[in-house]
Amino acid sequence: MSHYEAPIREPLVLGDKSYHDITEDIAKPIEGKANKNWYIAFYISLAAMLWGFGCIFYTVGTGIGVWGLNKNIGWAWDITNFVWWVGIGHAGTLISAVLLLFRQKWRMAINRSAEAMTIFAVFQAGLFPIIHMGRPWNGYWVMPIPNQFGSLWVNFNSPLLWDVFAISTYLSVSLVFWWTGLLPDFAMIRDRAVKPFQKKIYALLSFGWSGRAKDWQRFEEVSLVLAGLATPLVLSVHTIVSMDFATSINPGWHSTIFPPYFVAGAIFSGFAMVQTLLGIMRKVTNMEDYITRLHVEYMNIVIILTGGIVAVAYATEFFIAWYTGSPYENYTYLSVGAATGPYAWAFYSLLFFNILTPQLLWFKKIRRSFIWSFIISIFINIGMWFERFDIIAIVLSKGHLPSTWWRFEPTFVDVGIFIGTIGFFFVLFLLYARTFPVIAQAEVKTILKSSGEFYKKRLAQGIPTKPTVVIAKKKITEVDSSDKNTKE
Amino acid sequence: MASNKKYWKSVEELKDSSVVETLSKNEFVENIPTDNFLGDKETLETSSTSRRDFLKYVGFTTAAASLAACEGPVIKSIPYVVKPNDVIAGVADWYATSMADGYDFANVLVKTREGRPIQIMPNKEANGTTSARVQAAVLSLYDEKLRLKEPSKKGETISWADADKEIGIELLKLKEAGKPVVLLTGTMASPSTSKIVDEFTTAHPNISHVVYDAVSEAAAADAFQAMYGRRALPNYKLENAKTIVSFGADFLGDFHGGFEKAYVQGRKPETGKMSRHIQVESNMSLTGANADKRIVAKPSDVVFSLINLYNAITKEGVASKATPIDSEIQKIAQELKKAGSKAVVMTGVNDINAQLISLAINRALNSEILDINNSLNIRQGNYEQVQKLVSDAKSGKIGGIITYNVDPVYSLENGADFAEALKNVSLKVAIAVENSATVNAMDYALPAPHFLESWGDTHFSEGNYGLIQPTIQPLFKTRQFQDTLLKWSGSSTSYYDYLKSFWSTEVLGGSSWNKALHNGFFQKEVALTEDGVETPRDISIAEVARILKMNTTPSGMELNLYTKTGLGDGKQANNPWLQEFPDPITRASWDNYLTVSMADAKEIGFSNPVKDNGSINGDFAKVTVNGVEVVVPVMVQPGQAKGSVGLALGYGKTFGLKEEMHVGVNAYPLYKGGNNIQYNVKVEKASGVHEFACTQVQKTIAGRHDILKVTSLKDYKTVDPKDHHHGWNKPAYVSYDHKEVEANTIDLWDEHNREIGHHFNLSIDLTSCTGCGACVVACHAENNVPVVGKKEVRVGRDMHWLRIDRYYSSEVETREEAKELGLSRGEMYEALETEAENPEVTFQPMMCQHCNHAPCETVCPVAATSHGRQGQNQMAYNRCVGTRYCANNCPYRVRRFNWFNYANNNEFDFNMNNEYGKMVLNPDVVVRSRGVMEKCSMCIQMTQATILKAKKEGRKVNTDEFETACSSACTTGAMVFGDVNNKEDKVAALAEDKRAYNVLDYLQTKPNVIYQVKVRNTNEA
């Protein structure tokens, strides 16, 4: 993977790293012991997760009635959480697939965790369509599988069915893609492992990676093929999720701009979640040299872009609600009716968190600030949750017939399940951070010479890094080996 | 003695015993090759069955055996050994009978399945009507909690024979001592029972019969007696009326009952004739909600304006007082005079003088509408006699009290006094269907059968007789009241024989008993004109008005007590269907409340905030009447007269009721003198917050007038319904190819051919619908709709398949008006959403619209809801996984989700949680489990049964033969169901009517439920 990069570009790897340094840095969290903070975070997440599971069992055992839903509002937190988690899952594939195809090297520091986040988020998302069913034990009926109910088949007209296909495809492709990328890194851990059990596990996980040239060649090919497969999924999944709403006849849902708007919103929220997670992870696992200000800035730029698309979509929705002149559009989630109605707080929360706060990122200082990015990313996460809540709850709360206007109030079970999924997500992520190579080290090593700080410095000093001169290459090898020697 | 004989079994045994000996030692003739089997080491070793495998087999077989031993719960269905003649399993039997429980009187048909009554419908041939309460009475039959099951004495079981003996001795003692005994019953309107009571009181001259109605109509009866010499209630032929003016008479609600059919018959805009109905009242009643013009006045002003109307019509100047509505009264007088003999005035003021004035006005008008011949024999209660009984009992004058089906301890203003006074009475006998505080206060509790288990007769109005026949074997050890009295009178005939002979001698006049019994009713010419009863007596109205004015002493707040459509006088307070039935006006269930006008609420500081869970809360008010204090929650009621409050009777009953039914506040202690109007009432704000369970929160249509179309009679006659500007039934238009076209001319979808076979439509005439809600309960009964309880209704989870939306008008009705007023968008929404202080009210029954392009059908992932070839949108419960997507995508929000298991669940301890209550379930309709969606099926079980019946009889389905539960319960004929492919069916013409429209037609869901534009006769004559 030859790659030329102008020396004036900011380096993507800081800290004068050598190949071995990278290996060491990335293996450290796995081989070392977890610190106290990790345990605290883990136990809190575990407690939240168990509480959530308890709420889920209670729901399944007693009935959906333990939630705050009613005859007029059939969905609320369940589908809000579902769409929120699916949306979060979007950044991973975008980073690893689309950016791979576009040869954006900065993705290498973040793609592993972003994809992990994707998979864990899709786990959470996938829970909701199942548990929101009145009879989840019959949930398999939504699968077009041969059955003994006569010629009963699923309804291919239903967007919920498309969801089933979209989400399961997305999960499986993402998982395969993620795993493929992990193979060389698992092999690296395997080769370094001293404990036999650990060695065995990582040997299994790395599928017998040997590091031969043929392995690498196939690896590159598969990665590209999977990236090609995964790219349309970035667009399709949230398009289909948006169709749950867009194909309905509820004013405020029945909107043709939903697919692009939802995809943009998903990437927006996904990147925000990546910012949140990496903001913590780079500190906790000492990855400051790999996840740099530059990465943060790049991600913030994506956030501004997608946030802008979302803002334009909001404005369009608001305009259309007014422009139709239809009294039925008076109370859509973006309308004067919503702004003056009982859900005004949710309406303004949405505008504040999703439109106003991301605008701060136009300032370079804020965009490059770790702490600001972290705070804004959390705001966006909240805002995107409100977006889905507004779309679902506000629209359903003011249906066509005024006699059916109602409100929604969550019960402790609604809240418990949501918190439970956050707990579950972090449990998975924390376990991942302790057992998986959190940065695609094999890939980072490929850009070390073109985008590492050390090499950029040398280039600036006029020491050539490109071939033509054999000595230069030799020198570098010397440096490499000397480096190794000192360490050893 | 031992025998030496030897018996041999074979020749061998005799000859050669050694062979036999060896043989007898070997059980098997040939040696079993055990050694071969066990000893063959080689085979054993090569065998693949190891010990481990053996254990596996053992484990498997044990598990299989124990699994096979497990069985699901066995529900035994036992076939008839000897099949009763008339019962065919799976086929319903209908019996004509009558209901007369002292408050509700109706000629009904009862549907029984396998010997269980499961539904009550109006006996339309007998002109019978049913209300929500009559419909629900079938469930009260199965009230195992409240019904008396066996005779008891002071709580101890006693046999009927012993009870008879003891009571007989007591009665004899009292007779000899000459101590008065009172037989206290409700109105029975039963001629044979009257005769039995007469015979009983003749046999025991010390016994007097007192009739007591919890809700008194005594004033109207007394006034009628004063004027026409016969104690009865006036009847009205509203179908012929041109102008109806009612002063607080809720004749579509509880006022005598049964007028809605005639009322609606006189209001058919398509015939061009439509009566004009003006209501002057203080509470927002069901009748007021239906009026063409509703004039709000507090009760005292209602009384004075009635006198003023008398003055205006007769030009007399009897004593009265000016009221704020006098100018309206002048106009009413003009209208009444114009209508002449086709006009009628009625009043609900329970005061003999007010009633007399109302009768006098009708006389002055020469009203033909007031029907004197067919006067009503219901609600014959005599309040004064009841009060006398209480005071007599208190002073120890009374030796015995026998009550039948009344609960004075609960429903008397001084019920506690009555209970106290009972201590001075030696013989206390309660004959009752249900347990009550009164039964509890008595020594003897003798169970009587429910009317569905009884024989009997009725005479509701002059000339109209009815029969009561049992539809089920008595569930408990009950004996009819009449049988008991016959026994105590010393007669040995059974009531059935008595009834039969009574009818053949006194009623039938040679007609067939069997036919009368089959029909459930018998009509007789009334010939009263000869005996002079018709000639009204002259009564000095000036004197009447003077007394009325003197008695009407308005000061402070005025309280108008009323009864709610659901619970009435509270007899069926333990009936979960009625408790859950939302009030047509306030749409609140499980409660009574103080209705307060918006102006007064603002002044005193009452409000009904909508909470975050969608439900409504209310403040508490302390209401003081003559020193009696009650604390009630407040419901701010648009259309309530300022200076007046309303409160429903019949609530707050607790004795013996299930915990869930302990709702509301008992208002009877405020019912002073049996008068529904109480002056000098103090209303103060009390602390605390009450949680209401309302099924509808938004009160106005919010400018969405294509949902609910209303027009005036004048516009209906003169304006083209589709006129672009003034049309009153404009279709939705859409832009297509840059042209405005009617929305229903373009379509995204390919149509199925709907011409083949049956295609069902349901037409709902908003002009004829009075909002009475009989259909809601009928639907409950027919479709096994679960009751969910107050807490669940509060959070918006009522399961009604059929609901009646009620909309109030707002001050600003349309967006155009709002624009003219220069309101901003936010202000406009608020104006459209806020109900007017004295709004017009419109009812709209709403159920599954059975859209031909149903939005619910496309979104279900498992195709659990799909379209039938007969127009129904069908719901396959078994297939439903419960995503609720269909409900979200239903613009009419008629789908209901089973949030919990509502059957066999102690959390929902209503009729589906006990063996008796379950007997009311319709076996044709499945009880849904939790997690599935349900909704109106257009009674597919009924339409299929009709089709099958026709098929078996080898004929086509007759015209108008198809029915649904709601359409057959609808007495006014507002709901018409049928097959539009049969052009003879009424509904086929209705579907094409110029008043027909579909709700939300702009969505192009193409519903099979059609609404007919509501027409109001707003033209001042």
Q: Residue B106 pLDDT > 60, yes or no?
A: yes
Q: Does the beta-carbon distance from A69 to B898 stay under 8 Å? A: no
Q: What is d(CA A100, CA B83) in angstroms, rounded to the nearest whole number?
A: 81
Q: Within 10 Å of residue B58's Cβ, how many Cβ atoms?
A: 10
How many angstroms away from the CA of B886 is the closest CA of chain A?
Answer: 9
Q: Does the beta-carbon distance from B930 to A74 stay under 8 Å? A: no
Backbone Cα Rg of chain B: 34
Class of the domain covering B710-1016: alpha beta
Q: Which two tokens stand for residue B146?
A: 């409240």
Mean pLDDT confidence for B177-191: 91
| Length of chain B (residues) | 1021
Q: Which two tokens stand for residue A215?
A: 């392995």
First-to-last CA distance in chain B?
A: 124
Q: Within 10 Å of residue A486's Cβ, how many Cβ atoms?
A: 8
Cβ contact B431:B133 at 8 Å: no
Q: What is d(CA A175, CA B961) in angstroms, rounded to the nearest whole number?
A: 62
Domain map (residue ranges) of chain A: 19-487
Widest CA span in chain B? 139
The H or E element spanning position B621 is strand B617-625
Which residues lie below 8 Å from residue B649, measured CB to CB, with a gap of 6+?
Answer: B214, B215, B411, B561, B562, B563, B569, B570, B592, B667, B668, B671
Q: Which two tokens stand for residue A55?
A: 């709420």
Listed residue (B437, B390, B514, B469) closest to B112, CA to CA = B469
- CA quadruple B819, B822, B827, B833: dihedral positive or negative? negative
Render each residue's pLDDT in chain A as its tens digit; 488 residues. Answer: 456 777 778 888 888 888 888 888 888 888 888 888 889 999 999 999 999 999 999 999 999 999 999 999 999 999 999 999 999 988 888 888 888 888 888 888 888 889 999 999 999 999 999 999 999 999 999 988 887 777 788 999 999 999 999 999 999 999 999 999 999 999 999 999 888 999 999 999 999 898 899 999 999 899 889 988 888 888 889 999 999 999 999 998 998 999 999 999 999 999 999 999 988 888 888 888 888 899 999 999 999 999 999 999 999 999 988 888 888 888 888 888 888 889 999 999 999 999 999 999 999 999 999 999 999 999 999 999 999 999 999 999 999 999 999 999 999 999 999 999 999 999 999 999 889 998 888 888 888 877 788 777 777 777 765 544 444 444 444 445 444 444 43
A406 vs B796, B844, B882: nearest CB: B796
Q: Residue B785 pLDDT > 90, yes or no?
A: yes
| Length of chain A (residues) | 488
The verdict on B791 touching A (C-beta cutoff 8 Å) is: no
Listed residue (B1010, B1012, B866) closest to B937, CA to CA = B866
**B4 confidence band (pLDDT: 50, 70, 90):** confident
Q: Does the beta-carbon distance from B893 to A71 stay under 8 Å? A: yes
Q: DSSP states of B110-146 as a string?
A: EEEETTEEEEEEE-GGGT----HHHHHHHHHHT-TTT
Backbone angles phi, psi at A301, to 5 degrees: -65, -40
Q: Within 10 Å of residue B688's Cβ, how many Cβ atoms?
A: 10
Q: DSSP states of A202-232 as a string?
A: HHHHTTT----HHHHHHHHHHHHHHHHHHHH
**pLDDT of amino acid A488:** 37
Q: Within 10 Å of residue A470's Cβ, how many Cβ atoms?
A: 8
CATH topology of domain A19-487: Formate dehydrogenase/DMSO reductase fold (1.20.1630)
Nearest chain A residue (CA) to B788: A65
B862 vs A68, A141, A244: nearest CB: A141
Provide the pairing of β-strand B588-589 with B677-691: unpaired
Mean pLDDT confidence for B930-953: 94
Q: DSSP states of B514-551 as a string?
A: HHHHHHSEEE-----GGGTTTSPPP--HHHHHHHHHHH
The verdict on B826 touching A (C-beta cutoff 8 Å) is: yes
Cβ contact B757:B870 at 8 Å: yes
Sheet containing strand B105-113, edge to edge, reads B93-100, B105-113, B116-122
Cβ contact B989:B979 at 8 Å: no
Q: What is d(CA B159, CA B153) in angstroms, rounded to the nearest whole number?
A: 9
Q: What is d(CA B404, CA B101) in angstroms, rounded to the nearest whole number?
A: 11
**pLDDT of amino acid B434:** 92
The verdict on B877 touching A (C-beta cutoff 8 Å) is: no
Q: Residue B80 pLDDT > 90, yes or no?
A: no
Provide the pairing of β-strand B370-376 with B267-268: unpaired
Residues of B in contact with A332 (CB under 8 A): none
How many angstroms away from the CA of A235 is the closest CA of chain B?
Answer: 22
Backbone Cα Rg of chain A: 24
Residues of A in contact with B933 (CB under 8 A): 134
Q: Does the beta-carbon distance from A75 to B884 stay under 8 Å? A: yes
Q: What is d(CA A123, CA A139) in angstroms, rounded to the nearest whole number?
A: 16
The verdict on B819 touching A (C-beta cutoff 8 Å) is: no
The verdict on B698 touching A (C-beta cutoff 8 Å) is: yes
Right CATH number for B152-216+381-519 from 3.40.50.740, 1.10.10.1100, 3.40.50.720, 3.90.1310.10?
Answer: 3.40.50.740
**pLDDT of amino acid A266:** 92
CATH hierarchy code of domain B218-376: 3.40.228.10
CATH hierarchy code of domain B553-694: 2.40.40.20
Q: Does the beta-carbon distance from B702 to A327 stay under 8 Å? A: yes
Cβ contact A28:A286 at 8 Å: yes
Q: What is the DSSP letter of B452?
A: G
Give the position of tokens 């994707």.
Answer: A118
Listed residue (B387, B335, B395) closest to B365, CA to CA = B335
**Coil, strand, or helix at residue A367?**
helix
Backbone angles phi, psi at A27, to 5 degrees: -80, -20
Q: Within 10 Å of residue B38's Cβ, how many Cβ atoms?
A: 10
- B251-255, B371-375, B613-617, B706-710: which range is least confident on average? B251-255
Q: Residue B113 pLDDT > 80, yes or no?
A: yes
Which residues lie below 8 Å from residue B465, measured CB to CB, with a gap of 6+?
Answer: B191, B457, B458, B459, B507, B516, B521, B522, B523, B524
| Mean pLDDT taken over chain B | 89
Q: What is the DSSP letter of B610?
A: B
Q: Does the beta-carbon distance from A135 to B932 stay under 8 Å? A: yes
**pLDDT of amino acid B515:** 92
**pLDDT of amino acid B527:** 62
**pLDDT of amino acid B764:** 95
B881 vs A134, A153, A342: nearest CB: A134
Mean pLDDT confidence for B716-731: 89
The H or E element spanning position B820 is helix B815-820
Window 350-369 of A: residues touching B by CB (8 A cutoff) are: none
Q: Which two tokens stand for residue B921?
A: 């379930």
The H or E element spanning position A87 is helix A77-88
Which residues on neighbouring strands pair with residue B873, listed in sequence order? B867
Size of interface A-B (CB pairs under 8 A): 200
Q: What is d(CA A244, CA A239) in angstroms, rounded to the nearest whole number?
A: 9
Q: Residue B1 pLDDT > 60, yes or no?
A: no
Domain map (residue ranges) of chain B: 1-64, 152-216+381-519, 218-376, 553-694, 710-1016
What ipTM does the predicted assembly reach? 0.90
- CA quadruple B305, B308, B312, B314: dihedral positive or negative? positive
Residues of A in contact with B1000 (CB under 8 A): 400-401
Q: Which two tokens stand for residue A11?
A: 């380096």
Angle (CA) A442 A446 A451, round 5°: 125
Q: Which two tokens stand for residue B191?
A: 């001629």
Cβ contact B760:B830 at 8 Å: no
Q: DSSP states of B870-924 as a string?
A: TSPEEE-GGG-----HHHHT-TT---EE--S--SS-GGG-SGGGSTTGGGGS-TT
Listed residue (B693, B729, B780) closest to B139, CA to CA = B780
The H or E element spanning position B105 is strand B105-113
Q: How far is CA A99 from CA A9, A112, A298, A452, B15, in A?
A: 18, 13, 12, 19, 109
Q: Does the beta-carbon distance from A405 to B697 stay under 8 Å? A: yes
Listed residue (B134, B119, B345, B357) closest to B247, CA to CA = B345
Cβ contact B641:B559 at 8 Å: no
Cβ contact B956:B950 at 8 Å: yes
